Amino acid sequence: MLTIALEKVDFLPATRVTDDTSVLTLKNLVFEPLLRWVPGGSAHPALFSHWAHSPDGRRWEFFIRPGAAFHDGKPCVPEDVTGFIADILDAVDTFGMRWSYARYLAHARVAVGSDRSVVVENPEPIADILDIFSEFYLCRNAPDGRATLGTGPYRVAAFEPGRTAVLERFGATNGPDRIAFRAEPDADRRFDLLKARHVDAASNLERVHGRPTFDPSYAWGSALNTLSVMYYLNCFEGLFASPEARLAVNHAVDQDRLIAEVFHGLGAPSVTIVSPFHLGMSKVALKPIAYDPYEARRLLDKAGGPDTVMLRTPTFMPERAQEISRFVAACLGDVGLKVEIEVEHDRPEYARQVGRKQIGDMAIFDSSPQSTYRVQNDKISSTTKAVWWQGYDDPEAERLIIEANRAIDQDARDIAYARCLRRLRDNPPWLYIMHPTDVFAAQHDAPGLSIDHKGALIIT
């Protein structure tokens, strides 16, 4: 049996989409996504083995892989998928806010196509359905009412919510017969469990106090996460209604020094609204906005406006939110801005406040979707004006977003989104900060482990 210490051990309700790395580790073993996201932003087969679309991109048909069955033996049929999608579209997220998926598919018909297929029809081209389906992990409730029945390579043999879970091999051809997960919220204690050989591996060790030791007594693995740590800027009013001021604060913050001092070097600077692994990034050569306090002062002088800004921050999510905010405030002070920091201790309420556009002048947040389409639709587009949009209005960016949404061929999508990302780098809607690096360690005799760019442990 392979034993792993995670920050948390939980199986969320079936309709709950999450970017929590511990939960994703469990989900990837027990459930299958409808499609599998891969670095670069393309979709590969998963529960859906293949798919086809009409020439105009308005009709898509997805086929369930032959032999797919849930862990209780029930065959997986198209009605399972369509019912699951309908439930997600009618659900709310962790903070009680309605999922954006309902908006994406507001005019779409999702129906059974055949005994093995699901059909999506939409009035407009909808190639971005590939991104959406990569975030849906099909599952059903077990007799105990918990959403633990999937079609993945491992099934749940035992589960004590918040404490332990034991998985046993179901359909996997590789990997250990059984995997036990143990919850330990504190990163230093997770590492202590590894050192005492109580576990074979420990995840999220980038969160230990100080820098991980990378002691060669253990096998270490790491991966840059697609998550973006950033600040929403209030583009409705005040200083950041000015494009020059938004560019100025990006020049004012020394990303490399922030990563070195706050994250012990475990991360990479953000360049635009998404990570290097998102759709569009492979087609555009972008560098981070240069740290240049002199240019920042020049642009602030050109922008005019108030010299005092309100910066809002929670205590966590993103990790080290207050430390980042103190660093950013000091950088902005160096270019002549007076920064007042307001701390919100209720993290769910903080998210709701951001959704209500109550961000002061700037508010730290983490942008987690692996879909370039989703980030632009939810947070950038002045056409959709969705929940996380903060007043950014750039007609050229909007034109490029609409062009990308209409692209169908994968290479055409990649190129179209690349144009959007370049524009959003040159005329930023946010203060770009960084992408964190996730770290795990394992005993040298443990079975093969790696980590993906979502931060989930992969077991082979």
Q: Domain ranges for the chain, please list them.
A: 32-138, 228-437
Is the separation of the CB atoms in 2 and 459 below 8 Å?
yes
Based on the number of CB atoms within 10 Å of its own CB, is 220 exposed (0-12), middle (13-18) or buried (19 or more)? Answer: middle
Q: Which fold has domain 32-138?
A: Dipeptide-binding Protein; domain 1 (3.90.76)
**Average pLDDT score over the chain:** 96
Q: Cβ atoms within 10 A of the Cβ of 92, count?
A: 12
pLDDT per position as a tens digit, 212-234: 999 999 999 999 999 999 999 99
Say which residues have a Cβ less than 8 Å from residue 8's Cβ, sequence separation at least 6: 20, 22, 23, 162, 183, 185
∠ CA(358), CA(377), CA(112), 5° rounding?
Answer: 125
Tell me which of 363 and 115 has the higher pLDDT: 363
Per-residue model confidence as pLDDT tens digits over 410-443: 999 999 999 999 999 999 999 999 999 999 999 9
Give yes or no for a cis peptide into 318 (omega within 30° of 0): yes
pLDDT at site 172: 67
Percent of the chain whose predicted confidence (pLDDT) is above 70: 99
Phi, psi of 209 (to 5 degrees): -70, 125
Amino acid at 154: Y
132-153 confidence digits (pLDDT tens): 999 999 999 999 999 999 999 9
pLDDT tens string 23-32? 999 999 999 9
Question: Across the beta sheet with 117-121, what order do the strands follow?
Answer: 48-53, 59-64, 117-121, 109-112
This prediction's pTM = 0.95
Per-residue confidence (pLDDT) for residue 233, from 0 to 100:
98
Homologous superfamily (CATH) of 228-437 is Dipeptide-binding Protein; Domain 3 (3.10.105.10)
Which residues have a Cβ under 8 Å from the Cβ of 157 and sit 6 or more positions away? 166, 167, 168, 178
- Smallest CA-to-CA distance from 187 within 390, 421, 5 is with 5
- Closest residue by Cα to residue 354 from 245, 263, 232: 232
Lowest mean pLDDT among 72-86, 87-101, 188-202: 87-101
Question: How sure is the predictor about 171, in pLDDT bands with cuts at 50, 70 and 90?
Answer: confident
CA–CA distance, 1 with 164 (Å, rounded to integer): 14
> Strand pairing partners for 112?
118
Per-residue pLDDT reduced to its tens digit, 224-261 = 999 999 999 999 999 999 999 999 999 999 999 999 99
Task: Name the residue among 419, 414, 371 with its Cα closest to residue 135.
Answer: 371
pLDDT at residue 282 is higher than 90: yes
Radius of gyration of the chain (CA): 22
DSSP of 361-407: TEEEEEE--S-HHHHIIIII-TTT--TT--S---HHHHHHHHHHHH-
Q: Which burial class, exposed, middle or buried, applies to 336 when counting CB atoms under 10 A from its CB (0-12, 13-18, 19+)?
A: middle
How many C-beta neighbours within 10 Å does residue 410 have?
15
440, 457 in Cβ contact below 8 A?
Answer: yes
Residues near 171 by beta carbon (within 8 Å), at least 6 away in sequence? 151, 152, 153
Ramachandran angles phi, psi of 342, nearest 5° = -115, 125
Mean pLDDT to the nearest integer, 167-180: 89
Residue 315 has a pLDDT of 96
* Kind and range of the H or E run holding 140: strand 140-141
Q: What is the mean pLDDT of residues 274-303?
A: 97
* In contact, 30 and 157? CB cutoff 8 Å: no
> What pLDDT is recorded for position 234?
98
CA atoms within 13 A on the CB side of 455: 27
Name the amino acid, one letter, at 269: P
